[in-house]
Structure 1
Amino acid sequence: MELAQVRLLVTDFSACYHFYAEVLGLKPQSGAVEGPYEKFSPATGSAGIALQDRSMMARFLGGTGELGELGESGELVEPATGHRSLVVLRVDDLDAYCAQITERGGTIAHGPTPLTDRMRVAHLKDPEGNLVELQEWLLLRG
Protein backbone atom coordinates (compact mmCIF):
# COMPACT_ATOMS: atom_id res chain seq x y z
CA MET A 1 0.00 0.00 0.00
CA GLU A 2 1.17 3.52 -0.68
CA LEU A 3 -0.13 6.96 0.25
CA ALA A 4 -1.35 8.43 -3.03
CA GLN A 5 -2.56 11.83 -1.81
CA VAL A 6 -4.50 13.80 0.72
CA ARG A 7 -7.60 15.17 -0.97
CA LEU A 8 -9.45 18.23 0.26
CA LEU A 9 -13.19 18.35 -0.45
CA VAL A 10 -13.96 21.99 -1.25
CA THR A 11 -16.96 24.15 -2.05
CA ASP A 12 -15.18 27.10 -3.74
CA PHE A 13 -12.97 25.12 -6.08
CA SER A 14 -11.59 28.09 -8.03
CA ALA A 15 -10.51 30.01 -4.90
CA CYS A 16 -8.82 26.91 -3.48
CA TYR A 17 -7.14 26.19 -6.82
CA HIS A 18 -5.62 29.68 -6.90
CA PHE A 19 -4.49 29.39 -3.27
CA TYR A 20 -2.60 26.13 -3.79
CA ALA A 21 -1.19 27.13 -7.20
CA GLU A 22 -0.43 30.82 -6.68
CA VAL A 23 -0.07 31.35 -2.93
CA LEU A 24 1.62 28.07 -2.00
CA GLY A 25 3.33 27.68 -5.40
CA LEU A 26 2.41 24.01 -5.92
CA LYS A 27 2.39 22.74 -9.50
CA PRO A 28 -1.09 21.84 -10.85
CA GLN A 29 -1.25 18.62 -12.84
CA SER A 30 -3.78 19.63 -15.51
CA GLY A 31 -4.68 23.30 -15.07
CA ALA A 32 -8.36 22.56 -14.33
CA VAL A 33 -9.01 25.94 -12.65
CA GLU A 34 -12.76 25.33 -12.42
CA GLY A 35 -12.45 21.71 -11.29
CA PRO A 36 -13.97 19.39 -10.38
CA TYR A 37 -10.59 17.83 -9.57
CA GLU A 38 -6.95 18.87 -9.58
CA LYS A 39 -3.81 17.39 -8.10
CA PHE A 40 -0.94 19.62 -6.98
CA SER A 41 2.62 18.43 -6.64
CA PRO A 42 5.36 19.80 -4.42
CA ALA A 43 8.85 20.34 -5.83
CA THR A 44 10.01 17.08 -4.21
CA GLY A 45 8.25 13.93 -3.05
CA SER A 46 5.74 11.67 -4.75
CA ALA A 47 2.48 12.23 -2.85
CA GLY A 48 0.60 15.44 -3.47
CA ILE A 49 -2.43 17.41 -2.37
CA ALA A 50 -5.58 17.19 -4.45
CA LEU A 51 -8.73 19.30 -4.53
CA GLN A 52 -12.09 17.80 -5.35
CA ASP A 53 -15.38 19.65 -5.68
CA ARG A 54 -17.55 18.62 -2.73
CA SER A 55 -20.64 18.20 -4.93
CA MET A 56 -18.77 15.71 -7.16
CA MET A 57 -18.03 13.48 -4.17
CA ALA A 58 -21.60 13.94 -2.88
CA ARG A 59 -22.95 12.73 -6.24
CA PHE A 60 -20.52 9.82 -6.25
CA LEU A 61 -21.42 8.71 -2.72
CA GLY A 62 -25.12 9.40 -3.04
CA GLY A 63 -25.56 12.92 -1.65
CA THR A 64 -25.06 12.21 2.03
CA GLY A 65 -25.63 15.04 4.49
CA GLU A 66 -21.98 15.01 5.50
CA LEU A 67 -20.99 15.97 1.97
CA GLY A 68 -24.02 18.15 1.29
CA GLU A 69 -27.46 17.45 -0.15
CA LEU A 70 -28.02 17.49 -3.89
CA GLY A 71 -30.90 19.02 -5.83
CA GLU A 72 -32.65 17.32 -8.73
CA SER A 73 -30.11 18.52 -11.29
CA GLY A 74 -27.14 17.44 -9.16
CA GLU A 75 -26.27 20.86 -7.70
CA LEU A 76 -25.30 21.21 -4.06
CA VAL A 77 -28.36 22.68 -2.29
CA GLU A 78 -27.49 22.05 1.37
CA PRO A 79 -24.06 22.82 2.78
CA ALA A 80 -21.82 20.04 3.97
CA THR A 81 -21.80 19.30 7.67
CA GLY A 82 -18.75 17.10 7.90
CA HIS A 83 -16.13 15.73 5.53
CA ARG A 84 -13.52 18.17 4.34
CA SER A 85 -10.70 15.75 3.61
CA LEU A 86 -10.15 12.31 2.19
CA VAL A 87 -7.10 10.09 2.75
CA VAL A 88 -6.32 8.20 -0.44
CA LEU A 89 -4.42 4.90 -0.37
CA ARG A 90 -3.38 2.95 -3.45
CA VAL A 91 -3.53 -0.85 -3.30
CA ASP A 92 -2.62 -3.48 -5.88
CA ASP A 93 -5.74 -5.65 -5.56
CA LEU A 94 -8.81 -3.72 -4.37
CA ASP A 95 -11.10 -6.74 -4.05
CA ALA A 96 -8.60 -8.70 -1.99
CA TYR A 97 -7.82 -5.71 0.24
CA CYS A 98 -11.52 -5.00 0.85
CA ALA A 99 -12.00 -8.65 1.79
CA GLN A 100 -9.13 -8.36 4.28
CA ILE A 101 -10.69 -5.22 5.76
CA THR A 102 -14.04 -6.92 6.32
CA GLU A 103 -12.28 -9.98 7.80
CA ARG A 104 -10.60 -7.60 10.29
CA GLY A 105 -13.97 -6.13 11.30
CA GLY A 106 -14.03 -3.09 9.01
CA THR A 107 -17.02 -2.00 6.95
CA ILE A 108 -16.78 -0.89 3.33
CA ALA A 109 -19.27 1.96 2.88
CA HIS A 110 -19.11 2.10 -0.92
CA GLY A 111 -17.59 -0.02 -3.66
CA PRO A 112 -15.46 -1.48 -4.98
CA THR A 113 -16.62 0.31 -8.12
CA PRO A 114 -15.09 1.97 -11.18
CA LEU A 115 -14.36 5.68 -10.75
CA THR A 116 -12.90 6.20 -14.22
CA ASP A 117 -11.62 3.89 -16.92
CA ARG A 118 -8.25 4.06 -15.15
CA MET A 119 -9.18 3.23 -11.56
CA ARG A 120 -11.53 1.43 -9.21
CA VAL A 121 -12.28 2.70 -5.70
CA ALA A 122 -13.85 1.75 -2.40
CA HIS A 123 -14.68 4.02 0.54
CA LEU A 124 -14.78 3.45 4.27
CA LYS A 125 -14.65 5.56 7.42
CA ASP A 126 -12.28 5.44 10.34
CA PRO A 127 -13.66 5.34 13.91
CA GLU A 128 -13.85 9.17 13.95
CA GLY A 129 -15.84 9.24 10.70
CA ASN A 130 -12.99 10.41 8.43
CA LEU A 131 -13.27 9.23 4.83
CA VAL A 132 -10.68 6.86 3.40
CA GLU A 133 -10.58 6.02 -0.31
CA LEU A 134 -8.83 2.89 -1.52
CA GLN A 135 -7.72 3.02 -5.15
CA GLU A 136 -6.68 0.30 -7.56
CA TRP A 137 -5.06 1.87 -10.60
CA LEU A 138 -5.96 -0.06 -13.74
CA LEU A 139 -3.97 2.06 -16.17
CA LEU A 140 -1.07 4.33 -15.31
CA ARG A 141 -0.37 7.63 -17.06
CA GLY A 142 2.04 7.24 -19.93
Structure 2
Amino acid sequence: MELAQVRLLVTDFPACYRFYAEVLGLRPQSGSAEGPYEKFSPHSGSAGIALQDRASMAGVLAELGDTATGHRSLVVLRVDDLDAYCAEITGRGAELVHGPAPFTDRMRVAHLQDPEGNLVELQEWLLLPG
Protein backbone atom coordinates (compact mmCIF):
# COMPACT_ATOMS: atom_id res chain seq x y z
CA MET A 1 0.00 0.00 0.00
CA GLU A 2 1.14 3.55 -0.64
CA LEU A 3 -0.20 6.98 0.23
CA ALA A 4 -1.60 8.38 -3.00
CA GLN A 5 -2.75 11.81 -1.80
CA VAL A 6 -4.49 13.83 0.85
CA ARG A 7 -7.65 15.30 -0.68
CA LEU A 8 -9.34 18.43 0.62
CA LEU A 9 -13.09 18.76 0.06
CA VAL A 10 -13.71 22.42 -0.73
CA THR A 11 -16.66 24.69 -1.40
CA ASP A 12 -14.83 27.53 -3.22
CA PHE A 13 -12.82 25.45 -5.67
CA PRO A 14 -11.35 28.32 -7.78
CA ALA A 15 -10.06 30.17 -4.70
CA CYS A 16 -8.48 27.02 -3.28
CA TYR A 17 -6.99 26.17 -6.67
CA ARG A 18 -5.33 29.60 -6.86
CA PHE A 19 -4.00 29.23 -3.31
CA TYR A 20 -2.29 25.89 -3.91
CA ALA A 21 -1.06 26.73 -7.42
CA GLU A 22 -0.19 30.40 -7.15
CA VAL A 23 0.42 31.02 -3.45
CA LEU A 24 2.09 27.76 -2.47
CA GLY A 25 3.59 27.15 -5.91
CA LEU A 26 2.50 23.51 -6.23
CA ARG A 27 2.29 22.03 -9.72
CA PRO A 28 -1.30 21.36 -10.92
CA GLN A 29 -1.68 18.10 -12.78
CA SER A 30 -4.27 19.14 -15.40
CA GLY A 31 -4.86 22.87 -14.98
CA SER A 32 -8.53 22.36 -14.10
CA ALA A 33 -8.91 25.69 -12.27
CA GLU A 34 -12.71 25.47 -12.11
CA GLY A 35 -12.84 21.89 -10.77
CA PRO A 36 -14.35 19.66 -9.75
CA TYR A 37 -10.97 17.98 -9.13
CA GLU A 38 -7.27 18.81 -9.35
CA LYS A 39 -4.17 17.18 -7.96
CA PHE A 40 -1.14 19.26 -7.02
CA SER A 41 2.36 17.86 -6.79
CA PRO A 42 5.35 19.22 -4.96
CA HIS A 43 8.50 19.61 -7.00
CA SER A 44 9.83 16.39 -5.47
CA GLY A 45 8.14 13.34 -4.01
CA SER A 46 5.31 11.18 -5.27
CA ALA A 47 2.27 11.91 -3.07
CA GLY A 48 0.39 15.14 -3.51
CA ILE A 49 -2.50 17.25 -2.35
CA ALA A 50 -5.76 17.16 -4.26
CA LEU A 51 -8.81 19.39 -4.21
CA GLN A 52 -12.29 18.08 -4.87
CA ASP A 53 -15.50 20.07 -5.07
CA ARG A 54 -17.71 19.11 -2.11
CA ALA A 55 -20.84 18.91 -4.28
CA SER A 56 -19.21 16.40 -6.65
CA MET A 57 -18.34 14.11 -3.72
CA ALA A 58 -21.96 14.40 -2.54
CA GLY A 59 -22.91 12.28 -5.56
CA VAL A 60 -20.72 9.47 -4.25
CA LEU A 61 -21.47 9.69 -0.54
CA ALA A 62 -25.00 10.96 0.05
CA GLU A 63 -24.24 12.30 3.54
CA LEU A 64 -21.98 15.06 2.20
CA GLY A 65 -23.40 18.45 1.36
CA ASP A 66 -22.00 21.55 -0.23
CA THR A 67 -21.62 23.54 2.97
CA ALA A 68 -18.33 23.83 4.84
CA THR A 69 -19.48 21.66 7.73
CA GLY A 70 -18.87 17.93 8.00
CA HIS A 71 -16.15 16.26 5.97
CA ARG A 72 -13.34 18.49 4.80
CA SER A 73 -10.71 15.97 3.79
CA LEU A 74 -10.08 12.36 3.04
CA VAL A 75 -7.01 10.20 3.06
CA VAL A 76 -6.52 8.25 -0.15
CA LEU A 77 -4.70 4.91 -0.17
CA ARG A 78 -3.94 2.94 -3.32
CA VAL A 79 -4.21 -0.85 -3.09
CA ASP A 80 -3.50 -3.56 -5.66
CA ASP A 81 -6.67 -5.62 -5.12
CA LEU A 82 -9.59 -3.58 -3.74
CA ASP A 83 -11.94 -6.51 -3.17
CA ALA A 84 -9.36 -8.56 -1.29
CA TYR A 85 -8.25 -5.61 0.83
CA CYS A 86 -11.86 -4.67 1.69
CA ALA A 87 -12.55 -8.26 2.72
CA GLU A 88 -9.40 -8.20 4.87
CA ILE A 89 -10.23 -4.96 6.68
CA THR A 90 -13.93 -5.70 7.17
CA GLY A 91 -12.78 -8.97 8.74
CA ARG A 92 -10.87 -6.79 11.22
CA GLY A 93 -13.94 -4.68 12.02
CA ALA A 94 -13.89 -1.91 9.41
CA GLU A 95 -17.28 -0.80 8.10
CA LEU A 96 -17.43 0.39 4.51
CA VAL A 97 -19.76 3.32 3.81
CA HIS A 98 -19.47 2.94 0.02
CA GLY A 99 -18.19 0.38 -2.44
CA PRO A 100 -16.18 -1.30 -3.67
CA ALA A 101 -17.56 0.27 -6.81
CA PRO A 102 -16.41 1.80 -10.11
CA PHE A 103 -15.49 5.50 -9.81
CA THR A 104 -14.15 6.22 -13.29
CA ASP A 105 -13.13 4.04 -16.21
CA ARG A 106 -9.65 3.93 -14.64
CA MET A 107 -10.46 3.42 -10.98
CA ARG A 108 -12.54 1.49 -8.45
CA VAL A 109 -12.99 2.85 -4.93
CA ALA A 110 -14.36 2.09 -1.49
CA HIS A 111 -14.88 4.50 1.39
CA LEU A 112 -14.80 4.08 5.16
CA GLN A 113 -14.45 6.33 8.18
CA ASP A 114 -11.88 6.33 10.94
CA PRO A 115 -13.04 6.45 14.58
CA GLU A 116 -13.19 10.28 14.42
CA GLY A 117 -15.32 10.25 11.26
CA ASN A 118 -12.52 11.18 8.84
CA LEU A 119 -13.03 9.68 5.39
CA VAL A 120 -10.60 7.17 3.93
CA GLU A 121 -10.77 6.28 0.25
CA LEU A 122 -9.26 3.05 -1.01
CA GLN A 123 -8.38 3.10 -4.71
CA GLU A 124 -7.61 0.33 -7.16
CA TRP A 125 -6.27 1.72 -10.40
CA LEU A 126 -7.37 -0.22 -13.47
CA LEU A 127 -5.42 -0.86 -16.62
CA LEU A 128 -7.00 0.70 -19.67
CA PRO A 129 -7.74 -1.71 -22.52
CA GLY A 130 -5.12 -1.20 -25.08
The TM tier, using the shorter chain, reads: over 0.9
Runs of 4+ aligned residues of structure 1 deviating over 2 Å after TM superposition are none
The answer for unaligned runs of 5 or more in structure 2 is: none
- Counterpart residue type for residue 18 of structure 2: H
- How far has the Cα of 1:15 moved from its partner? 0.2
Corresponding residue of 2:101:
113
1:98 pairs with 77, 86, 89, which one?
Answer: 86
- Counterpart residue type for residue 5 of structure 2: Q
- Counterpart residue type for residue 10 of structure 2: V
Q: 1:119-130, aligned counterparts within 5 Å?
A: 119-130=107-118
Corresponding residue of 1:14:
14
- Give TM-score, length-normalised by structure 2: 0.95
- Counterpart residue type for residue 42 of structure 2: P
Are residue 43 (structure 1) and residue 35 (structure 2) matched? no
CA distance in 2: counterparts of 1:51 and 1:14, whole angstroms: 10
Are residue 32 (structure 1) and residue 32 (structure 2) matched? yes
- How far has the Cα of 1:80 moved from its partner? 4.1
What CA RMSD, in Å, does the superposition of the two structures yield over aligned residues?
Answer: 1.0
Corresponding residue of 2:70:
82
- Give TM-score, length-normalised by structure 1: 0.88
- How far has the Cα of 1:61 moved from its partner? 1.0
The answer for unaligned runs of 5 or more in structure 1 is: 69-75
User: Does the CA contact (< 8 Å) of 2:10 and 2:68 recur in 1?
Assistant: no
- How far has the Cα of 1:81 moved from its partner? 2.3
CA distance in 2: counterparts of 1:15 and 1:115, whole angstroms: 26
- How far has the Cα of 1:131 moved from its partner? 0.1
CA distance in 1: counterparts of 2:91 and 2:41, whole angstroms: 35
CA distance in 2: counterparts of 1:31 and 1:14, whole angstroms: 11
Identical columns (%) = 81
